[in-house]
Amino acid sequence: MSGGPIVVKIGGAPGVDLENVCADVAELVRRGERVIVVNGGSDAGERLLKLHSLERPEVTTPSGNVVRITNAATLRVLMMAWVGEVNKRIVLALGERGISGLGLCGADGRVLVARRRPPLKIHDNGRLRIDREHLAGELTAVNTGLLGTLLGLGHVPVLCPPAVTEDGVLVNADADQIAASVATALGARALVMLSNVPGLLENPNEPLTLVRHSDDVEGCMQLAAGRMRYKLDAARKALQGGVPSVYVSSSRVPRPVFVALTEESGTKFTLPRKDAANAGT
């Protein structure tokens, strides 16, 4: 097939139909497409943290933002869920369909390199304190050479957090942002983000208010809440990085990847035509 690869992000929220998505990924590969999968694992991570009697505390920054803290102990457990559970479930699901999936976190081949975020200022019972231990990062580089080699050999790379810093520290990185960065770095022809919701809704409680297409991601932010804001931010990053189209759709509909790409389901995001010509420059 001509053009860049397709990046498929499988969300980690409750109710995501992983097997359903993998069936489409396998079919795409059989049709000659190059596909990269990115997985989250929020629900699996939270369940495992509870089993270990751990939690990620929510703190408030001076600007009023609420942030969930990831420290060394919680990151070790979250890795068990992201890498050891969800990622390998995807690899196995692809293998059952005759497709070679190769699971990687950011440290493997330094495929996802990040910059660790600076010490975090926190409001704590009326006092200001600084947390220097939190382990969060933002992607700075993607090992496109490694991913290109794997794709050329017929594998489906299955990527997940954590990322790794230049000095070898593992850090939590948002999976939606990872998907956007990978799509941008590889010149993907599409980014498909599948979760447990039908797409962007004007009214979150009314499925019939689905936004089918928008070339104004920024304007759509006022409609989004919770994790959808993260998805829109990732969509904006990918579009500005030169990815022509980003699709946000449900993992639970029949043929979820295909119906997203054909705009039969979900929300399609593009840049305005005047901006699209300058994207990625």
Q: What is the pLDDT of residues 191-210, one digit of tens each?
A: 999 999 999 998 887 878 89
What is the pLDDT confidence band of residue 223, given thresholds at 50, 70 and 90? Answer: confident
Report the alpha-carbon distance of residue 132 to residue 111 in Å, rounded.
26
pLDDT at 1: 46
For the record, the structure tokens of 274 come out as 């005047």
Residue 279 DSSP symbol? T
pLDDT (average), residues 102-117 = 97
pLDDT at 272: 86
- End-to-end CA separation in angstroms for the chain: 25
Angle among Cα 70, 75, 80 to the nearest 5 degrees reads 145
Domain 6-276 fold? Carbamate kinase (3.40.1160)
For the record, the structure tokens of 196 come out as 């447990």
| 44-81: pLDDT as tens digits | 999 999 999 999 888 887 777 777 899 999 999 999 99
Please choose, from the candidates 211, 216, 196, 206, the residue with its C-alpha nearest in 3D space to the C-alpha of residue 256: 196
Share of the chain above pLDDT 70, in %: 95
pLDDT at 278: 66
With contact defined as beta carbons under 8 Å apart, do 71 and 59 qualify?
A: no
